[in-house]
């Protein structure tokens, strides 16, 4: 028997959610645990309760929306993602995964289908990390990576703690973090990159997530007048930073596989002035690779070039690794469930690793997990221009439905 989602209803729910926290250029701004984020959560809960679902909230604000099964004491099969956005984010990043889960629940409700295992739609708190660092902190807490106390104590730029924001928005739950345990977890997401679109493929079967390491680097030289100071006497912190960036870029570009990725996304010149040699520079470095051993090697290159830049320009350097996320390999059984559903759609697809971090990274440590990707226009994400077509959204949702049914079992019609 074929069970099909309602593609128009899915699209309508995406557009309705986008009306909460809209930005001037068609994007979304719902920073974690702001009133806009809370309004989005309340709308979702309203939709879910209308079809008989129950809602629980854990101590770090993760929402667990349950649809009962015939064997309700079994661990549930779950899907979900996040509703929080970047300050000028799009309408699909995270939101698609949540509202596709809602559409799965609605479709089953319309058809009178009850699964054997219960189902959970999970909304993870603060996935983006835009308000409370680091990203994915609540799913990480669920998986045991962070303590509940440390997560609740994390502060935004205004000194408001995550715990205080939970209280203010009404999402300070009481359910112990780490419950319920999940039999399987599936996350539908836009790719956030250009590969599927460039290759003319409609779906990605995500087999894992590349490893990531973040560093904060400080170069300390000596400020001096740009005119009287000869080049050979200078201790230019910015020149050292530029040397490091150039060498890391050259190393990454030399990798023909394209799996080596280096990004320096933040650069701050201390007391910058047009005619002053920069005496202090702060720099962020993001290293990524799909193979852990190669990521180790990339970090070694970074450390070597860091020291070389320090020596070449006579500056001091300090490097702090602030985050390390190992390469993740998803569960074989969940990957196969997704791939079977993808093949049934009769469209071009590929197996692929995710280049971005997702809540599934942490969930996969404690539950069998896999992801589904659809293309996004020009590979753009974390941007108001972010866009996925209604057809691709529906296609991904249909795959999600079929993968969930395969793992949860279809009891009655």
- Residues of each annotated binding site for Zn(2+): 82, 93, 128, 189, 382
Residues 184/241, Cβ–Cβ less than 8 Å: no
CA distance 179 to 98: 19
Beta carbons within 8 Å of 186's beta carbon, 6+ residues apart: 77, 78, 79, 334, 337, 338, 369, 370, 371, 372, 400, 403, 404, 407
Compute how many other C-beta atoms are within 10 angstroms of the C-beta atom of residue 272.
11
CA distance 2 to 394: 15
User: Residue ranges for the binding site?
Assistant: 82, 93, 128, 189, 382
CA distance 58 to 312: 52
Beta strands in 278-394 (DSSP E): 280-289, 316-325, 328-329, 349-354, 369-374
With 0-12 CB in 10 A as exposed, 13-18 as middle and 19+ as buried, what is 126? buried
Residue 185, H or E segment: strand 184-190
SS3 306: helix
Residue 277, H or E segment: strand 276-277
Give first-to-last CA distance, the chain, whole Å. Answer: 10
């Amino acid at each position: 028997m074929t069970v099909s989602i309602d593609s128009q209803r899915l699209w309508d729910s995406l557009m309705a959610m986008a009306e909460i926290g809209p930005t001037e250029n068609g994007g979304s701004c719902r920073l974690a645990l702001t009133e806009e984020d809370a309004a989005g959560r309340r709308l979702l809960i309203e939709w879910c309760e209308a079809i008989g679902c129950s809602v629980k909230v854990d101590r770090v604000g993760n929402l667990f929306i349950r649809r009962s099964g015939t064997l309700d004491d079994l661990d549930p099969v779950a899907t979900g993602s996040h509703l929080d956005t970047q300050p000028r984010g799009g309408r699909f990043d995270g939101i698609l995964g949540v509202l596709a889960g809602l559409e799965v629940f609605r479709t089953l409700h319309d058809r009178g289908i009850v699964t054997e295992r219960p189902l959970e739609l999970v909304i993870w708190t603060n996935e983006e990390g835009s308000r409370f660092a680091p990203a994915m902190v609540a799913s990480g807490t669920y998986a045991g990576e962070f303590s509940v106390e440390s997560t609740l104590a994390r502060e935004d730029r205004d000194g408001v703690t995550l715990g205080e924001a939970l209280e203010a928005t009404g999402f300070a739950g009481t359910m112990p973090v780490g419950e319920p345990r999940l039999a399987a977890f599936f996350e539908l997401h836009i790719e956030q990159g250009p590969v599927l679109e460039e290759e003319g493929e409609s779906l990605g079967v995500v087999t894992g997530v590349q490893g990531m390491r973040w560093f904060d680097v400080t170069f300390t030289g000596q400020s001096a007048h740009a005119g009287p100071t000869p080049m050979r006497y200078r201790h230019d912190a910015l020149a050292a930073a530029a040397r490091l960036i150039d060498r890391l870029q050259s190393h990454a570009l030399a990798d023909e596989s394209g799996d080596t990725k280096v990004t320096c996304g933040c650069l701050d010149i201390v007391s910058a002035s047009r005619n002053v040699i920069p005496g202090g520079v702060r720099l962020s470095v993001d290293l990524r690779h799909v193979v852990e051993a190669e990521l180790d090697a990339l970090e070694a290159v970074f450390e070597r070039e860091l020291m070389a830049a320090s020596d070449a320009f006579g500056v001091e350097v300090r490097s702090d690794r602030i985050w390390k996320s190992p390469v993740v390999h998803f569960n074989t059984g969940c990957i196969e469930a997704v791939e079977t559903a993808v093949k049934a759609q009769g469209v071009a697809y590929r197996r692929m690793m995710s280049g971005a971090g997702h809540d599934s990274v942490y969930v996969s440590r404690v539950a069998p997990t896999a992801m589904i990707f659809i293309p996004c226009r020009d590979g753009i994400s974390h941007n108001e221009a972010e866009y996925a077509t209604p057809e691709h959204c529906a296609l991904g949702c249909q795959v999600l439905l079929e993968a969930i049914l395969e793992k949860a079992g279809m009891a009655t019609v």
